[in-house]
Amino acid sequence: MPSYADSNGDGYGDFKGITSKLDYLQDLGVKGIWLTPFLKSPKVDNGYDVADYYEIDPTYGNKQDFDTFLKEAHKRGIKVIMDLVLNHTSKDSQWFQEAKKSKDNPYRDYYIWKDKPNNWESFFGGTAWELDVTNNQYYYHKFDVRMADLNWSNPKVVDEVQKILQFWLDAGVDGFRLDVINFLTTDGILADNPMKDGNQQHLYDIDQSGVKEAMKMIKATVNAYPNRFIVGEIGSDKIQVLKQYQSEELLDVVFNFNFGSIPAFSAERIFNELQSMEKVMSNYPTLFFGSHDMPRMMDRLADGNLEKASALAALIFTAKGVPFVYYGEEIGMHNIIAHSFEEIADIQGKTHYQLALQKRKTPEEALLEGNKNNRDKSRSPMQWSANEFAGFSIEKSWIKVSPDFKDNNVEVLRKDKNSIFYKYKELIALRNKEKVLQYGKYDRLEFKDNQILYTRSFEGERITVIVNFGKPTKIELPKGAKILLGETHLRTNKSIIYKH
Ligand code: GLC
pLDDT, tens digit, for every residue of 476-493? Answer: 999 999 999 999 999 999
pTM, two decimals, is 0.96
Q: Is 49 in the pocket of ligand 1 (CB under 6 A)?
A: no
Average pLDDT over residues 375-383: 97
Reported as a single tens digit per residue, the pLDDT across 74-102 is 999 999 999 999 999 999 999 999 999 99
pLDDT of residue 319: 98
Q: Is 45 in the pocket of ligand 1 (CB under 6 A)?
A: yes
Pairing status of strand 494-499 against strand 461-468: antiparallel
CA angle 374, 348, 44 (to 5 degrees): 110
Residues comprising the chain, all counted: 500
Q: How far is CA 374 from CA 337, 344, 349, 351, 454, in A?
A: 9, 7, 4, 9, 36
pLDDT of residue 496: 98
Best mutation site among 143, 176, 184 for ligand 1 pocket (most ligand atoms within 8 Å of CB): 143
Average pLDDT over residues 359-373: 93
Q: What percent of the chain is modeled with pLDDT above 90? A: 97
Cα–Cα dist 4/13, whole Å: 5
- 183 CA distance to ligand 1 middle (Å): 11
Cα–Cα dist 58/62, whole Å: 6
DSSP SS3 for 199: strand
Pairing status of strand 494-499 against strand 482-485: antiparallel
Best mutation site among 35, 43, 48, 90 for ligand 1 pocket (most ligand atoms within 8 Å of CB): 48
Cα–Cα dist 240/42, whole Å: 36
Does residue 282 have a pLDDT over 90? no
Does residue 158 have a pLDDT over 90? yes
Which atom of ligand 1 lies nearest, measured to the CA of 87?
12
Does residue 125 have a pLDDT over 90? no
Which atom of ligand 1 lies nearest, measured to the CA of 142?
6
Does residue 440 have a pLDDT over 90? yes
Nearest to residue 403, comparing CAs of 318, 336, 349, 466? 336
Q: How far is CA 256 from CA 94, 273, 276, in A?
A: 34, 9, 11
β-strand partners of 231: 177, 253
Q: How far is CA 246 from CA 103, 152, 203, 294, in A?
A: 38, 20, 21, 23
Q: Is 143 in the pocket of ligand 1 (CB under 6 A)?
A: yes
Q: Whose CA is nearest to atom 2 of ligand 1?
A: 179
Q: How does DSSP classify residue 151?
A: B
Contact (Cβ atoms closer than 8 angstroms) between residue 465 and residue 497 = yes
- 469 CA distance to ligand 1 middle (Å): 32
Q: How does DSSP classify residue 390?
A: G
Average pLDDT over residues 376-403: 96
What positions carry a catalytic annotation? 179, 233
Q: Is 293 in the pocket of ligand 1 (CB under 6 A)?
A: yes
Q: How many CA within 13 A on the CB side of residue 178?
A: 28
CB atoms within 10 A of CB 384: 20
Q: How many CA within 13 A on the CB side of residue 125?
A: 15
Pairing status of strand 79-84 against strand 32-35: parallel
pLDDT of residue 455: 98
Nearest to residue 78, comparing CAs of 132, 124, 32? 32
- 236 CA distance to ligand 1 middle (Å): 14
Which atom of ligand 1 lies nearest, measured to the CA of 124?
10
Average pLDDT over residues 48-52: 98
pLDDT of residue 429: 98
Q: Is 111 in the pocket of ligand 1 (CB under 6 A)?
A: no
Cα–Cα dist 22/69, whole Å: 9
- 176 CA distance to ligand 1 middle (Å): 14
Q: Side chain identity at 356, as an amino acid letter?
A: A
Does residue 345 have a pLDDT over 90? no
Q: Is 181 in the pocket of ligand 1 (CB under 6 A)?
A: no
Query: DSSP for 446-476?
Result: EEETTEEEEEEEETTEEEEEEEE-SS-EEPP
Query: DSSP for 87-134?
Result: SEEETTSHHHHHHTT-TT-TTGGGB-EESS--S-B-TTSSBSEEEETT
Cα–Cα dist 457/477, whole Å: 17
Q: How far is CA 8 from CA 13, 61, 312, 382, 476, in A?
A: 9, 10, 36, 16, 55
Element housing 498 (H / E): strand 494-499
Cα–Cα dist 217/154, whole Å: 14
Least confident of 218-232, 304-318, 353-367: 353-367
